[in-house]
Amino acid sequence: MTAPAIVLVADGPDDDAVNSSLAAIRDDLRAARPDLRIFLGRVGGPEPSLEGVVAALVEDAVGEAVLVPLDLVSAADHRPELDTFHRSPDIHLAVSRPVGPASELLNILDERVREALHRGGALEIDGLILAAPAGGDVRGSSLLARRARQWAAHHRIPVQLAVEEGSGRATASAVASLRAQGRRHIAVGSVYLTPTPDYQVHAHAALRAGAIAVTAPIGPTPHLRQLILARYAFGAMELLDGTPTQLSAEVLEGEES
């Protein structure tokens, strides 16, 4: 039996840099798993639209697919529009949990921080900011706060969490808070998947406020690839069983610790 297809579900503006980054994530996954059919579907307007991708799968007689939301700030909830596809009579679909703020995210951010420091010629840091866009679910917000605490414990330096509404104020305020504590070598870890305009605003705000380095968006990385495949695996199990996989808060707690 053919494995279900993977459809990476992403939102965001119709922007060349965003589109290229999302395509790179899809292509990285395809290169790693040539045995799987992997597609990218956009919601909110940009092409390739999720509607068009699902229609093409139906036309190609693909019987099953797992929709994997590329959302880094929600841990359990997905966009309501995805439930419409979930009930499609022409193809069996499962909607996986979002990628979310998993613990592996800190490994990616550590790599991005090192890259940012190298670009800026900096040698050390004495403060960190974990910056993420607003809009996640309650569980995701709780996990982001936990990631900030874990990051602080790992590096043994203060870490501020900044949840951005799009203006850059939260990041700038977090930088100011650390500077008020006497910290002068502050790096910002950006929990943004792609270089959206909101990412650019937050990055500029951080640098204006005195940060010495701001990480690039997550983009394609082996850690992200493994997270996507893990979400896909759970979704594929749901298709096999024929019933939704409901994970309790206790299971999520242990899985994301």
Torsion sign over Cα 142, 147, 150, 151: negative
pLDDT band at residue 66 using 50, 70 and 90 as cut-offs: very high
Q: What is the mean pLDDT of residues 4-15?
A: 94
Q: What is the mean pLDDT of residues 223-240?
A: 91
DSSP codes joined into one string, 194-206:
S--HHHHHHHHHH
- Domain coordinates of the chain in residue numbers? 5-100+220-255, 104-214
For residue 53, is pLDDT > 60?
A: yes
Q: What is the mean pLDDT of residues 193-221?
A: 97
For 146-165, write each residue's pLDDT tens digit. 999 999 999 999 999 999 99
Q: What is the mean pLDDT of residues 136-150?
A: 96
Encoded tokens for 25: 């994530």
For residue 124, is pLDDT > 80?
A: yes
Instruction: Tell which wins on pLDDT, 120 or 115.
Output: 115
Instruction: Specify the pLDDT at position 149.
Output: 97
d(CA 114, CA 52): 39
Q: Which residues contact 8 (CB under 8 A, 6 or more apart)?
A: 22, 25, 26, 29, 38, 39, 40, 41, 68, 70, 228
d(CA 59, CA 70): 25
Instruction: Specify the pLDDT at position 85.
Output: 66
Instruction: Specify the pLDDT at position 88.
Output: 65
Strand order in the sheet with 186-190: 159-164, 127-133, 186-190, 213-214
pTM (two decimals): 0.89
Q: What is the mean pLDDT of residues 222-246?
A: 81
CATH of domain 104-214: 3.40.50.1400
For 16-45, write each residue's pLDDT tens digit. 999 999 999 999 999 999 999 999 999 988
Equal fold, 5-100+220-255 vs 104-214:
yes
Asked if 62 and 5 touch (Cβ cutoff 8 Å), the reply is: yes
Amino acid at 183: R
The structural architecture, per CATH, of the domain 5-100+220-255 is 3-Layer(aba) Sandwich (3.40)
pLDDT band at residue 242 using 50, 70 and 90 as cut-offs: low
For residue 254, is pLDDT > 50?
A: no
Q: What is the mean pLDDT of residues 54-68?
A: 92
Instruction: Specify the pLDDT at position 44.
Output: 82
Q: Which residues contact 179 (CB under 8 A, 6 or more apart)?
A: 186, 209, 210
Instruction: Specify the pLDDT at position 249.
Output: 38
Instruction: Specify the pLDDT at position 240.
Output: 74
Q: What is the mean pLDDT of residues 217-243?
A: 88
- Quote the mean pLDDT of the chain: 90
Encoded tokens for 63: 């019987």
Q: What is the mean pLDDT of residues 189-209?
A: 97
pLDDT band at residue 244 using 50, 70 and 90 as cut-offs: very low
For 80-114, write each residue's pLDDT tens digit. 888 776 566 788 899 999 999 999 999 999 999 99
